Amino acid sequence: GDSVTQMEGPVTLSEEAFLTINCTYTATGYPSLFWYVQYPGEGLQLLLKATKADDKGSNKGFEATYRKETTSFHLEKGSVQVSDSAVYFCALFPGGYNKLIFGAGTRLAVHP
């Protein structure tokens, strides 16, 4: 079945460091891919998305490129801030009457 695999956390970085959170997926067809962020005590918010191969989603300095050849959607940011500390979830949606599938989440802690 369809699935999402994320790198395990926690990821601990100093402010202004480069961030990469790996995400790979397994799916039949052509799913849409998402990154969601969960700040402490809150629900999830969409961070960025990509709907077809080679699309690049971007928001708030974060980027991720839909790579069909490697079935990946890695999240990157060039310079993280303390306010980026949160849990990040990679997700896929196969489309139609189907379920939204999440990875296990990666906790990011950024220290000043």
Partner 1 sequence: SQTIHQWPATLVQPVGSPLSLECTVEGTSNPNLYWYRQAAGRGLQLLFYSVGIGQISSEVPQNLSASRPQDRQFILSSKKLLLSDSGFYLCAWMWGENTEAFFGQGTRLTVV
Interface contacts to partner 1, rule CB under 8 A = 32, 34, 36, 42-46, 49, 51, 89, 91, 93, 95-105
User: From the CB of 95, what's the least distance to partner 1, in Å?
Assistant: 5
Cα separation of 51 and 4, whole Å? 16
Q: Which is nearer to partner 1, 17 or 44 (CB)?
A: 44
* Bond preceding residue 31 cis, omega within 30 of 0: no
Q: Which is nearer to partner 1, 24 or 93 (CB)?
A: 93
Q: Give yes or no for a contact between 1 and 57, defined as CB atoms under 8 angstroms apart.
A: no
User: From the CB of 105, what's the least distance to partner 1, in Å?
Assistant: 4
User: From the CB of 9, what's the least distance to partner 1, in Å?
Assistant: 10
Query: What is the 8-class DSSP label of residue 72?
Result: B
Q: Which is nearer to partner 1, 17 or 22 (CB)?
A: 22
**Per DSSP, what are the bridge partners of residue 94?**
none
Closest C-alpha to 11, from 103, 71, 88, 74: 88
User: From the CB of 79, what's the least distance to partner 1, in Å?
Assistant: 25
